[in-house]
Amino acid sequence: MKFDFDSTYFNPEQVLDCGQTFRFAPIKEGYFAVSADKACYIHIDGNKTVVESEDSDYFYNYFDLARDYSEIITRAKSHNIPLLSRSAEELKGLRLLNQNHEEMLYSFIISQNNNIPRIKGIISRICAGLGEKREFLGQEYYTFPTTQKLAEAGREFFKSVGCGYRDIFLDETSNRILKEGLDHLLPLPTAELKKQLLTYKGVGAKVADCVALFGFGKRDSFPVDVWIEKIYKEDFNGTLTDRNKINEYFCSLFGEDSGYIQQYLFYGKRTFG
């Protein structure tokens, strides 16, 4: 089944390529995107973005389509920061995804001190090795592995798919989640959630913010990585060097819109400098 949505505020390339998800690939006129154990084909047709899948409800929520992004963009522009205004205008089709919290935790542990093309490759090999093979629209794909599978895999598996020194983080964290679960963190407010996420091996401030933002819907999070540091210096004339302080600066500036604005800035800087 399929549904469509005005493509002005729903651009497949911007949504998928901005660094919040690692499981998608160009196919035909659009993209094949996978989340947890579900897949969809997404493409633009005229002035509509069409999403074809076996679970429309899931992907309607995944793509955050109940939210009005025109208001977010208006507020972003009101700050009168050149990079942000340009990003919000040219990337108005970007949306923050509502992704699976376990998948985000494992994915962003892998992301540390790593580059996006490599992260995508590693996650792809983990899914191929431990996930279930499925097919949609004649396209083969693999589900994201369960915590049980990840916990059973062992460090050698993670090494073999290119995780490097992060092997032990994935092994320890998956075994902990196997015992404790992760759903008990779902109802926590942002600050308490981040505090709890920091107790997992391989999770520091930046990864915790990404997991909170993309996996737990905490839009008042503002992940600070090397690109945000660069933006802070070049586009905000900032002088702080401590990442936690830079995080506080941006969160107090953008409040409830922090997560959206972080993505406009991050993807905008990478796209047109």
Partner DNA sequence: GCCCAGGAGTGCA
Partner DNA sequence: TGCACTCATGGG
Under 8 Å between Cβ of 268 and 86: yes
Phi/psi at 39 (5° precision): -130, 155
DSSP 208-256: HHHHHHHHS--TT-----HHHHHHHHHHS------HHHHHHHHHHHHGG
Q: Which is nearer to DNA, 40 or 109 (CB)?
A: 109
Which of 205, 238, 240, 248 touches DNA by CB under 7 A?
Answer: 205
Kindly tell me which of 79 and 245 has the beta carbon lying closer to DNA: 245
| Cβ distance to DNA smaller for residue 50 or 182 | 182
Indicate the SS3 state at residue 26.
strand
Q: Which is nearer to DNA, 123 or 203 (CB)?
A: 203
- Helix 258-272 × helix 82-90 angle, to 10°: 90
The binder of DNA chosen from 137, 186, 191, 226 (CB under 7 A): 226
How many other C-beta atoms lie within 10 A of the C-beta of residue 269?
A: 17
Q: Which of 49, 87, 111, 147 binds DNA (CB under 7 A)?
A: 111
Cβ neighbours of residue 143 closer than 8 Å, sequence gap 6 or more: 34, 36, 37, 127, 131, 132, 134
Based on the residue annotation, tell me whether 269 is a catalytic residue of this protein.
no
* Residue 171, phi then psi, degrees to nearest 5: -65, -50
Catalytic-role residue among 38, 92, 194, 206: 206
Smallest distance, DNA to C-beta of residue 110, A: 10
- Please choose, out of 49-57, 71-79, 149-157, 219-227, the segment that lies near DNA by the rule CB under 7 A: 219-227
If binding is defined by CB under 7 A, does position 266 make contact with DNA?
yes
Contact 225, 252 (CB under 8 A): no
Exactly one of 14, 227, 240, 271 binds DNA (CB under 7 A); that residue is 227
What is the distance between the alpha carbons of residues 230 and 72, in angstroms, rounded to a whole number? Answer: 24
Nearer to DNA, 48 or 159 (CB): 159
* Strand arrangement, sheet containing 2-6: 2-6, 48-53, 38-45, 30-35, 24-27
Residues 112 to 141: which contact DNA by CB under 7 A? Answer: 112-119, 121
Q: Which of 16, 94, 262, 264 binds DNA (CB under 7 A)?
A: 262
By CB under 7 A, what part of segment 141-180 binds DNA? 159, 162, 164-165, 169
Number of residues binding to DNA, judged by CB under 7 A:
36
The site for DNA (CB under 7 A) is made up of 18-20, 111-119, 121, 159, 162, 164-165, 169, 201-208, 210, 223, 225-228, 242, 262-263, 266
Catalytic site residues? 206
